[in-house]
């Protein structure tokens, strides 16, 4: 969109998800935070959540020219986050192979963070989100191979991080 002077601007949308249904809600330009909270509370009561709920604590507004564009951007962001999680799980599979080959199950200092694909200065809350997402992904109902062993490694790494901070 552009104004009468030729300056282009984009609206802000919040993409909400319920099951596989996605809707993009246009954020009014001049609205108080309390009123905005009330609007989104009504959506939450109907079972909708912000699209990035698995990866971030707070809803993220997306700049887009249309609601369809906002929904597509939300799908792209979700896909990127899933790909990051798959990369971390691949690293974990490599670590499992190494551990199985050595028949050892202990971590050297800092290796517990490598399980989650992060550095050792990563906030504990962020590691906890990754931990929970990995466990969801490895749930036996998803048919993941070696899920019991992977879960054991993930939980042991998380226990070390929890005790350390």
- Stretch 136-158: mean pLDDT, rounded? 77
Domain with 51 in it: 11-66
Please indicate whether residue 146 or residue 155 has the higher confidence score (pLDDT): 155
- Stretch 33-39: mean pLDDT, rounded? 79
pLDDT level of residue 4 (50, 70, 90 thresholds)? low
Residue 2 inside a domain? The answer is no
The pLDDT value given to residue 16: 86
pLDDT level of residue 146 (50, 70, 90 thresholds)? low
- Residue 59 and residue 37 in one domain: yes
- Residue 102 and residue 46 in one domain: no
Residue 109 inside a domain? The answer is yes
- Residue 56 and residue 97 in one domain: no
Residue 58 inside a domain? The answer is yes
Mean residue pLDDT of the chain comes to: 79
Nearest to 47 by CA among 13, 19, 24: 19
Cα distance between residue 120 and residue 108, in whole Å: 12
Give the torsion through C-alpha atoms of 60, 58, 122, 157, to 10 deg: -120
Cα distance between residue 13 and residue 64, in whole Å: 7
- Residue 132 and residue 153 in one domain: yes
* pLDDT tens digits, one per residue of 39-70: 778 888 888 887 766 666 667 788 888 889 98
Assessment of whether the complete model's pTM goes beyond 0.85: no
Pairing of β 62-64 and β 49-50 = unpaired
Cα distance between residue 71 and residue 149, in whole Å: 37
Look at the chain and report how many structural domains it folds into.
Answer: 2
Q: Which two tokens stand for residue 29?
A: 């330009």
């Amino acid at each position: 969109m552009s104004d009468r002077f030729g300056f282009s601007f984009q609206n802000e949308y919040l993409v909400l998800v319920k099951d596989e249904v996605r809707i993009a809600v246009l954020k009014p330009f001049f609205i108080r935070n309390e009123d905005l909270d009330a609007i989104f509370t009504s959506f939450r009561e109907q079972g909708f959540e912000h699209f990035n709920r698995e990866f971030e604590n707070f809803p993220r507004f997306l700049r887009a020219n249309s609601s369809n564009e906002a929904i597509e951007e939300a799908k792209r962001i979700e896909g990127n986050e899933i790909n990051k999680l798959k990369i971390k799980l691949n690293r974990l599979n490599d670590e499992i192979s190494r551990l199985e080959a050595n028949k050892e199950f202990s971590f050297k200092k800092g290796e517990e963070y490598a399980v989650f694909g992060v550095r050792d200065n990563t906030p504990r809350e962020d590691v906890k989100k990754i931990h929970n997402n990995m466990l969801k992904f490895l749930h036996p109902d998803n048919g993941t191979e070696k899920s019991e062993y992977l879960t054991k490694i993930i939980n042991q790494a998380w226990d070390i991080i929890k005790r350390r901070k």
